[in-house]
Amino acid sequence: MTPEDLLGRLLYRDPAVLVIDKPAGLAVHAGPKGGDHLQLYLAALSFGLAQAPELAHRLDRETSGCLVLGRHRKALAALGRLFAEGRVDKTYWAVVVGRPRDDHGVIDLPLKKRERSFGWKMEVERSGLASVTEWRLLGGDDRLSWLECRPLTGRTHQIRAHCAAIGHPLVGDAIYGRGTGTLEGDRLLLHSRAVSLPFHPGKPPIAVVAPVPDHMKAALDRCGG
């Protein structure tokens, strides 16, 4: 990643909000082991303001697509309220193992973070936080399915954990779908396809769509995309 690369990934800009197309493989913030991360490059998106934009939410390192940034404190506070109140409409595309019996459904399973010997993961647990994901089948064959997923809550790894819980883990998911990477490469096939933000009062929502990343094109073609 370079500042120029990031500028080329700008999908939307106004005085308060930016939306970028985050590449898969880039963490959004520094981890315990350091390394490259998105916040090192955000100054390139200041566009004349005294401060760099900041994250309004997060995407996993291996998830690509729409990522919302606030350009100043007031904007970040307003975006934080929208996300906390569940007023942001988020659409993800996922390629999963197998084919669901139905064409659409709702996964309503509480999730709780659990520590394991290899790290942590989210598990279905009655005492966990309420977690709801709507999904719709967009295409597929006898081995893979292309799902549109809309998380109605914002839990960490929600789509990944929910899809695995119903028996259809995401392709390339090293935590929730061990061994699935051999089906279509070794990368996680999860993309933040679109986001809709009712940010400006009296105006239509900010609606942004991210292009399909190269590493997902072959699998989506296979699924009829």
Q: Give the per-residue pLDDT at 113.
A: 93
The upper half-sphere exposure of residue 30, i.e. CA atoms within 13 Å in the direction of its Cβ, equals: 5
Counting every residue, how long is the chain?
Answer: 225
Tokens 């990368």 -> residue? 187
Q: Considering the candidates 5, 21, 36, 60, report the single residue annotated as catalytic.
A: 60
Q: Give the per-residue pLDDT at 185.
A: 60
The upper half-sphere exposure of residue 43, i.e. CA atoms within 13 Å in the direction of its Cβ, equals: 3
102 is catalytic: no
Task: Please answer whether residues 71 and 91 qualify as being in contact, where contact means their C-beta atoms are separated by less than 8 angstroms.
Answer: no
CA distance 49 to 100: 48
Joined together, the tokens standing for residue 215 give 């590493």
What phi, psi does 162 have (nearest 5°)? -70, -45
Total domains in the fold of the chain: 1
Strands 144-151 vs 64-70: parallel, antiparallel or unpaired: unpaired
**How is residue 146 annotated by DSSP?**
E
Per-10-residue mean pLDDT for the chain, 225 residues long? 92 98 95 86 96 97 97 98 96 97 97 84 95 98 96 96 96 82 73 97 97 96 93
Q: Give the per-residue pLDDT at 184.
A: 55
Find the domain containing 32 and state its range.
3-222
Q: Give the per-residue pLDDT at 186.
A: 74
Q: Would the CA dihedral through 21, 218, 143, 145 be positive or negative?
A: positive
CA distance 84 to 146: 28
Coil, strand or helix at 71: coil
Q: Give the per-residue pLDDT at 177.
A: 86
CATH number at residue 114: 3.30.2350.10
